[in-house]
Amino acid sequence: MRTTVGIIGAGPAGLLLARLLHRAGVESVVLESRDRDYVEHRQRAGILEQGTVDVLRAAGAGDRMDREGLPHDGIELRFARRRHRVDFPALTGGRSVMVYAQTEVCKDLIALQLEEGGPLLFGAEALAVEDADTERPRIRFRHEGREDVLECEYVVGCDGFWGVSRTAVPSGVSRVFERTYPFSWLGILADVAPSHDELVYARHERGFALLSMRSPSVSRLYLQVPAGTDAGEWSDERIWEELERRFETADDWALARGPITSKSVTPMRSYVHEPMRHGRLFLAGDAAHIVPPTGAKGLNLAVGDVVTFARALAHQRETGSRERLDAYSETCLRRVWQAERFSYEMTSMLHRAPDATPFDERIQLARLARLTASRAAETDLAHGYTGFPLE
């Protein structure tokens, strides 16, 4: 098989890249190791930045998002039983975010790709990226019980941390920066209408909690728990009781309970792989970087990566200049590190470390008090949350 761009991974990054390339008249083939049902139902992020929303609309993939997604103009911060709303449009000149699950983004992009785009092969396991430092890189893969080779002009690895793309970058040129946090998130899905119309980030002496949602009738909630926690150790009653403690306020607000349909534990980690390009291999999304979920940046960073690649390739085809392709890693990493900073600051401000001292806790409260009293500090948070510009 031959194509212009070989894409490994049919998550939102790989699927969006295929869509952008199709609309630009560039051939691509997408290889996905899992089956379609798995891709369309794996639970992941649900907050889309303004830039991501704009890109999906421009790519012709925003119709159902605009019908069913939940636009959010702010978040609420809670601490010391106080409530403070951050108004995004008022602080950013009109920017906001959209609650629309990654599963739904994937369903929309898969439908478009199968109807209009190039080949999308499910059950196609990428085995290796070869000759990345030549003008004809290759992807060895297994599909329907036999091995095959996809010859490309470019390879974009959207196959996550455990995929083959990242390991194809020689160790001698790779640099890794990472931080593992001593806590995780216990997340639940519950069949109950959200108890607030916007996301609630709660800092409590017992630990962090987040109130989110998947739809007007399904709530998504999280609790900070020790690293290594088994979700099965937490009964439904224990979860609801702990959520009620951490979300408590001085007014009459109450958390609505409902049947819990799913429980999972998410480790907290920061990771960056540099460079994000080797020859004609380009890394995107979790293959290159991971952020703790506190800042809602993971999916949005992946979108920024593939938009950067698509624009750079279009520039090369229009002008003959490889300048923007050559600058792909540097361009992406500027945004990646700002997102890492933002996610780290949100995480450290809202979570209680196992070894936290009374001094540490007072500093957290002082940082939150600063946000509620300073328009400049609040504006910085609003700009970070709604998204850093796509260069």
Contact in structure between 20 and 310 (CB atoms under 8 Å): yes
Sequence letter at residue 130: E
Check if 385 is active-site. yes
Check if 72 is active-site. yes
Both tokens of 347, joined, read: 């995480």
Task: Let me know if 377 is exposed, middle or buried by CB neighbors in 10 A (0-12, 13-18, 19+).
Answer: middle
Report how far apart, in Å, the C-alpha atoms of 356 and of each of 182, 204, 293 are: 11, 13, 21
Determine which one of 72, 196, 204, 278 is catalytic. Answer: 72
What does the alpha-carbon distance between residue 303 and residue 19 come to, in Å, rounded to a whole number?
A: 12
Does the CA dihedral 30-34-39-42 come out positive or negative?
negative
Which residue's structure tokens are 């088994």? 230
Sequence letter at residue 216: P
Per DSSP bridges, beta strands 120-122 and 124-130 are unpaired
Which residue's structure tokens are 């009738």? 217
Determine which one of 154, 297, 328, 351 is catalytic. Answer: 297
For 210, phi then psi, to 5°, come to -135, 130
What does the alpha-carbon distance between residue 3 and residue 295 come to, in Å, rounded to a whole number?
A: 36
Contacts of 148 (CB under 8 A, 6+ apart): 1, 140, 141, 142
Check if 201 is active-site. yes
What does the alpha-carbon distance between residue 125 and residue 9 come to, in Å, rounded to a whole number?
A: 9
Rg (CA), the chain: 21
Contact in structure between 212 and 219 (CB atoms under 8 Å): yes
Strands (E), 229-303: 260-274, 277-278, 281-283, 289-290
Determine which one of 137, 194, 292, 293 is catalytic. Answer: 293
Check if 107 is active-site. no
Residues designated catalytic: 72, 201, 293, 297, 385
